[in-house]
A and B are shown apart, each in its own frame.
Chain A
Amino acid sequence: MGRMTFVFQRLLLLIPVAIGVTIIVFFMIHLIPGDPARTILGIHATPRAVAILHRQWGLDRPLISQYWLFMDRLVHGNLGQSLYYGVPAGPLIWSRLPATLWLVVYAAVLAVVISVPLAMIAASRKDGIRDHIVRAVPLVGLGMPPFWLGILLIYALAINVRWFPVSGYGTGFTGHLHSMFLPALVVAIALAPVVIRSLRASMLNVLGAEYITTAKSKGVSGHRLFLRHVLRNAVIPAVTVLGINIGFLVGGTVVIENVFAIPGIGQLMINSIFERDFPVVQGVTLAFGVLVVLVNLLADLSYAALDPRVRFDR
């Protein structure tokens, strides 16, 4: 199968997922116990307001035509009106997106920076002391609540020694880099256990490959062997693992944005939940879904473009 066919197929696969994502987001209002309009507007809502919302969302019509109405609004970029801010939800979410993207990318970079050396240390001498120490990291890390780690780091590095601001997004590139270091670090630490594990496993795999034996017998040794032959071949699976866990990475930002008061869509989501601002919660959920789907697509496509050995038949 050719490269273009793969790209085409991958894009085709996107359609059912995209439709599914909109269906889930659409059905969110129908999971609300009782009359959604009454629940959303609160107990003090006038019958008139409830009736208006009913008409606006087509709640009095059959499900199919409700979904049709929802999709019709969606393709016109209309995510509804925020009940709390009183502005359209779409632009509101759009304006909060940069902070979240910053955090996601920053955390992904830090996760690689943390994981690659640790995995190398572990794999370089299997079952050695260093290996055992590195392998203990994921055991502790997997069960660590990210928000809790965030609070501890704020206390240790922002309040006690004042190296970093307690919260916020900063201004300008270096400002962001500085202000978002702690939150990005927390997300990266939450992600690192999974990445370290797979990276170590794939490095051990590569170390057992015949071309490594060949390289060794040719007299290639030490750092050169590791950097040129092992790391280059082991990093591709690591990128894949990162791609697979993109949902986890992005989901982690929801929690962390709130701990560090970063004005991204995660913070918007939790705030809107407290204000019972349903259209915004729905819109943010959709935005997160679209974000993950797009990043996954990007990962697949760049993977295919980068590694000449990738075969496209399934």
Chain B
Amino acid sequence: MSSAVLFPSDAPPPEFIAEPQEHAQPRRVRHWYTQPALATGAILLAVIVASAVFAPLITHWNPIAQNLNATLLPPSSKHLLGTDQLGRDVFANLLYGLRNDLRIALIAVLLPFCIGTVLGSIAGYFGGWVDTVIMRLVDVVVAFPFYVLIIALVFVLGPGERSIYIAITLVGWVSYARIVRGEILVVKRQDYVLAAQSGGLSSVRIIGRHLIPNVITQAIIYGMSDIVQDMLAIVTLGYFGLGIPPPTPDLGTMINNGQNFMTTQWQLTTFPGIAVVLVGLSLSLIGDGLADLIRPGTS
């Protein structure tokens, strides 16, 4: 039933990325930088995150400053990627859009990760009616297509960042719950868990100290692909005008605006998309590399 590793790849926020590496190092002799996929992904992500964080230092243009005397300019040394229909610098918009979307995607993944992990461990550890209730809830949420539910939720909640977080949390926890539950079902039969149980440790302690640390890696690996998925959702919402309200820079909004000028100013649409692809690529590489580092030879 549990489809577990549908997208066995990618990516947590920076603080997450360091963590599994540190954990993996003492146990395995292999270092993260000997993993080509992981190293490439980490470097690529570092470059992307750095250009998003240091956007104000990289470009001096204000991304939302309009200049109606300089609309739809082609790329030049002054405007690296030209300007859009309102005379805004496209390169600046790209960097700031990436900054916003990446930030929201990284934050959005945290709550579902925590809620899903907790509910998944409870369901897997206790079984019985608790398991039944939680898993039926999972079945109901996955009955809806991801995009349909996200779009519908953001619509009823009203546009804005907060609605995106709520929608992604309500929909996103199910995958983590499924993955963690599946892993717990296997791990809870191990001797050390039985030992802890017969030692009289509380369930909270067993789950928190003994089970979750042993099953969390799969959830983290999935988290990598989940960030990509959230990023796509945010960009898609932006494309439909349901995401972050303008004039806040957003890659989806940029693609939508540029679409009308596709035949003459193709760079308006193309580059925001490439930015999203690169983010996805870096996180997928990290996820794959992590999976390979933890369980060599599986991919």
Q: How far is the CB of B119 from chain A (nearest CB, A)?
A: 15
**At the interface, yes or no: B232 with Cβ under 8 Å from chain A?**
yes
Q: Contact: B145 with A248, CB < 8 Å?
A: yes
Q: Contact: A293 with B277, CB < 8 Å?
A: no
Of the candidate stretches B57-65, B85-93, B154-162, B207-215, the one touching chain A is B154-162
**At the interface, yes or no: A152 with Cβ under 8 Å from chain B?**
yes
Output the nearest chain B residue to A246 by Cβ-Cβ distance: B145
Q: How many chain-B residues does the 8 Å CB contact rule pick out?
A: 56
Residues on B with beta carbons closer than 8 Å to the beta carbon of A197: 8
Q: Contact: B7 with A21, CB < 8 Å?
A: no
The distance in angstroms between the C-alpha atoms of A32 and B156, with both chains bound, is 5
Q: Contact: B273 with A288, CB < 8 Å?
A: no
Residues on A with beta carbons closer than 8 Å to the beta carbon of B179: none
Residues 150-188 of chain B, each 1 if its beta carbon lies under 8 Å from chain A, else 0: 011101111000000000000000000000000000000
The distance in angstroms between the C-alpha atoms of A149 and B277, with both chains bound, is 11
Residues 245-275 of chain A, each 1 if its beta carbon lies under 8 Å from chain B, else 0: 1011011101100100000000001100100
Q: Contact: A151 with B262, CB < 8 Å?
A: yes
The distance in angstroms between the C-alpha atoms of A29 and B255, with both chains bound, is 31
Residues on A with beta carbons closer than 8 Å to the beta carbon of B253: none
Instruction: Name A's interface SS.
Output: helix
Output the nearest chain B residue to A29 by Cβ-Cβ distance: B156
Output the nearest chain B residue to A270 by Cβ-Cβ distance: B240
Q: How large is the interface on A (under 10, 10 to 19, 20 to 34, 35 or more residues)?
A: 35 or more
Q: Contact: A143 with B228, CB < 8 Å?
A: yes
**At the interface, yes or no: A281 with Cβ under 8 Å from chain B?**
yes
**At the interface, yes or no: A50 with Cβ under 8 Å from chain B?**
no
The distance in angstroms between the C-alpha atoms of A3 and B284, with both chains bound, is 40
The distance in angstroms between the C-alpha atoms of A142 and B229, with both chains bound, is 8
**At the interface, yes or no: A215 with Cβ under 8 Å from chain B?**
no
The distance in angstroms between the C-alpha atoms of A139 and B228, with both chains bound, is 11
Q: How far is the CB of B108 from chain A (nearest CB, A)?
A: 16
Q: Contact: B269 with A143, CB < 8 Å?
A: no
Residues of A217-254 at the interface with B, using a CB-CB cut-off of 8 Å, are 244-245, 247-248, 250-252, 254
Q: Contact: B143 with A194, CB < 8 Å?
A: no
Of the candidate stretches B74-82, B133-141, B193-201, the one touching chain A is B133-141
**At the interface, yes or no: B263 with Cβ under 8 Å from chain A?**
yes
**At the interface, yes or no: B266 with Cβ under 8 Å from chain A?**
yes
Residues on B with beta carbons closer than 8 Å to the beta carbon of A33: 157-158
B interface residues (Cβ-Cβ under 8 A, vs A): 1, 3, 6-10, 136-137, 139-149, 151-153, 155-158, 225, 228, 231-232, 235-236, 239-240, 242, 252, 255, 259, 262-263, 266, 269-270, 272-273, 276-281, 283-285, 288
- Give 12 CB contacts A-B under 8 Å: A17-B136, A28-B153, A29-B156, A143-B278, A148-B273, A151-B259, A247-B143, A252-B147, A255-B236, A284-B148, A293-B143, A296-B143
Identify the 9 closest CB pairs spanning chains A and B, nearest first.
A143-B280, A251-B145, A20-B140, A148-B273, A251-B147, A139-B284, A288-B148, A247-B145, A244-B3
